[in-house]
Structure 1
Amino acid sequence: MNHPSPRDVVNRQLEVYNAHDIEGYCALFAPEATISDLVTGQMICNGLDDIRDVYTMRFAENPGLRCTVHQRLEAPTHAIDKETVYGLPAGPLHIMAIYEVREGLIRSLKFIRWTD
């Protein structure tokens, strides 16, 4: 079976994130996917139910939320983005996001985050 590349999956993830499309967003993650902070090791989401809960609330609480990708690197099973998230109460958030993508689904997402 031919699956979309990590770049294609992460491009789609950016589109649905910026559209606040929670169903489209969740459809791109594996059921057992994790989201974590790479620096602290903190688990942000563990599984698709957590992802749905966290991002439903994030989209609802931040109607101006949007992400811009400045640069992307791609490997056979990963995409690494340099991003800025806008529309948060504390101001822009800069992120290095490491997406592990296998069989067309995001298996893990690890962040390094900082502000100006």
Structure 2
Amino acid sequence: MSGRAPFLGAALVFTAMSSRAACLSPGVEPTPAAVVDAQFAYYNAHNVDAFATCYAENVEMIYLDASRPAIQGRAGILTAFAFLKTMPREMGVQIVQRTVTGPTVIDREHVVGLPSGKVLPDMAAIYEVRDGQIVKVWFPPSH
């Protein structure tokens, strides 16, 4: 019986680690920047299900100008970003500038692939990443 304990412990650690960094490719260290990069890649690929795996189950996404209601939980992320599935393939987001401080990633983002004549201002996004998942996102006013 005691011969199984180390294996069971290792299996539990591996399971916990893999669930915390579920959105990352195997072998990628779950740094805050890597997690945010992964969610950008999934967003730009319009893969909403994979995009949502970068977020904690109890994530909060807050628009500081109150232009949109806060998004609560991974289920809320799946609902709020379902529009990606129907967007043109060329639509996406580019990171223009980034600052990383501890668990916080601050990006200036630019939307690309919009219809001719449509322009959106760059926006800032502040991500808090813990244990390989985004736990909070704040979007300051962009205008």
Amino acid at match of 1:29: Y
Structure 2 gaps of 5+ residues are 1-12, 18-28
Equivalence for 1:71: 97
Equivalence for 1:60: 85
- The answer as to whether partners of 2:109 and 2:124 remain within 8 angstroms in 1 is yes
Q: CA RMSD in A?
A: 2.2
The correspondence for 2:39, drawn from 13, 26, 42, is: 13
| Larger fraction in helix | 2
Superposition TM-score, scaled by structure 2 size: 0.70
Q: 2: CA distance between counterparts of 1:93 and 1:60?
A: 23
Identical aligned residues as a percent: 28
Q: 1: CA distance between counterparts of 2:68 and 2:45?
A: 27
Asked if 1:38 is matched to 2:64, the reply is yes
Structure 1 gaps of 5+ residues are none
Asked if 1:86 is matched to 2:112, the reply is yes
Distance 1:19 1:50, change over 3 A: same
Which moves more between the two structures, 10-19 or 79-88? 79-88
Per the alignment, in what secondary structure is the counterpart of residue 119 of structure 2? coil
Q: 2: CA distance between counterparts of 1:29 and 1:95?
A: 20
- The answer as to whether partners of 1:100 and 1:107 remain within 8 angstroms in 2 is yes
Superposition TM-score, scaled by structure 1 size: 0.84
Q: State how many pairs are aligned.
A: 114
Per the alignment, in what secondary structure is the counterpart of residue 43 of structure 1? coil
Work out which of the two has the higher radius of gyration on C-alpha atoms and give 1 or 2.
2
- Deviation beyond 6 Å, 4+ runs, structure 1: none
Distance 1:88 1:34, change over 3 A: farther
Alignment of 1:91-106 (within 5 A): 91-106=119-134
- The answer as to whether partners of 2:63 and 2:140 remain within 8 angstroms in 1 is yes
Amino acid at match of 1:30: A
